[in-house]
Structure 1
Amino acid sequence: MTAQKNQRKEYLCVKDLEKVLDSCTLELNQIDEVWPNLYIGNVRIAQNRAALQRMGITHILNAAHSKRGSIGDQNFYGTSFVYCGIPAEDSSYFDLDIYFRSAADFIHKGLKTPDGKVLVHCIMGMSRSSTLVLAYLMLYHHMPLRSAIQRLIRKRAIYPNRNFLALLLDLDLQLKRKRKTCVLL
């Protein structure tokens, strides 16, 4: 029975993750620091360059690049910020996983720069941006998906859509397999 229970814990499903997300009691803010010097925010704060400069933000990852209502490119931010745009759609069919590695690399490089502070945003700062931050925590900090979600919901109200949760579950499984392979070698 215990082996079965452990096996069940190992294989999460989207519904399990939604239960964890539903346990969050935080209000949605414009911006929250979710990891040291890593912020998730909405488009409103992302378009307020003066506020971003006061906060010391140095890097901006826009997970809604070229979407209606999301102004943003290097010209908009000038030389004050390093900008990266991902043309993601918050939909049930968008393959955001093709950007997991490049987004994680951008976040990591931004945090490694002297005094680096990274803002990851989309329109509301709940689905696309949080998905990319979760992927970063999984790829660079070797956090299992459930642990990464639990960590983030202590700092911000997030809610990746079901498609993005499924993509994160796939990443989680890939990373677990890779770790097991490395241990066996």
Structure 2
Amino acid sequence: MEGGIFRERLKALAQIMQALKMVKEDNVPCEIEEGVYLGSLGAANDKITLKSLNITHVLTVASSLSPAHPNDFVYKTIPEEARTTGGGVLVHCFAGRSRSVTVVVAYLMFKNRMPLLEALEHVKILRPVASPNLGFMSQLHGFERSLQGANTDTVLQV
């Protein structure tokens, strides 16, 4: 019984160590298109870099992450208005690999009328760790089908 508890605590400690490494090493946002950046928790915590890139808004795609600099940036959930205010937007989740990538890919599909695979490849070129999980890929495929059958000008104004 005690061995199981020890293993669970050791696993939790390893996850914390990985998170700290990520915050330290993966702290540069990738510009996906003008004013739209993708990154991890590390990028979201680097206030100097965010300011230097004229990022004014941060879209966090993780309910468990609190805003790192609430007095310096506008933190939002969807819908996002920063693209109309002249500032840049950092979209991030914990690792910047799945949830936030899914949001950015969907944005590119909608705004630029890009097919899913083209939008995903574009993001992967700029952020090689991008890898939406199977559930998100399924949702993106469904979103692609809905875009093909809908008049997107009436669905959402970006």
Fold agreement, TM-score > 0.5? yes
Give the direction of change, closer, same or farther, for the CA distance of 1:130–1:119 in structure 2 (3 Å limit). Answer: same
Q: Tell me which residue corresponds to 1:47.
A: 45
Give the superposition deviation at 1:77.
Answer: 1.6
Counterparts of 1:152 and 1:51, CA distance in 2: 20
Question: In the aligned structure 2, how far is the partner of 1:65 from the partner of 1:47?
Answer: 16
Structure 2: distance between partners of 1:54 and 1:152: 22
How much is the aligned-residue C-alpha RMSD, in angstroms?
2.1
Q: What is the correspondence of 1:53-68 to structure 2 with a 5 Å cutoff?
A: 53-66=51-64
The corresponding residue for 1:82 is 74
- For 2:46 and 2:91, how far apart are their aligned partners in 1? 14
Matched positions, count: 126
Candidates 119, 122, 139, aligned match of 1:148: 119
- 1:98-117 equivalent positions in 2, closer than 5 A: 102=78, 105-106=79-80, 109-114=81-86, 116-117=87-88
Runs of 4+ off more than 6 Å: none
Partner of 1:169: 141
Q: How much has 1:50 moved relative to structure 2?
A: 2.9
Partner amino acid, structure 2, of 1:165: M
SS in structure 2 at match of 1:64 = coil
Rounded Cα–Cα distance in structure 2 between residues aligned with 1:152 and 1:53:
22
Taking structure 2 as the reference length, the TM-score comes to: 0.72
Determine if contact 1:59/1:110 at 8 Å carries over to the other structure: yes
Whether contact under 8 Å (1:47, 1:71) holds in the other structure is no
Match of 1:127 in 2: 98
RCO (CA 8 Å, sep 6+): is it higher in 1 or 2? 1
Give the structure-1-normalised TM-score: 0.62
Q: Which runs of 5+ in 1 are unaligned?
A: 1-27, 86-101, 180-185
Give, in angstroms, the shift of residue 29 of structure 1.
Answer: 4.6
**What is the match of residue 71 of structure 1?**
66
- 1:49, distance to aligned residue in structure 2 (A): 2.1
Q: Secondary structure at the match of 1:58?
A: strand
Amino acid at match of 1:136: Y
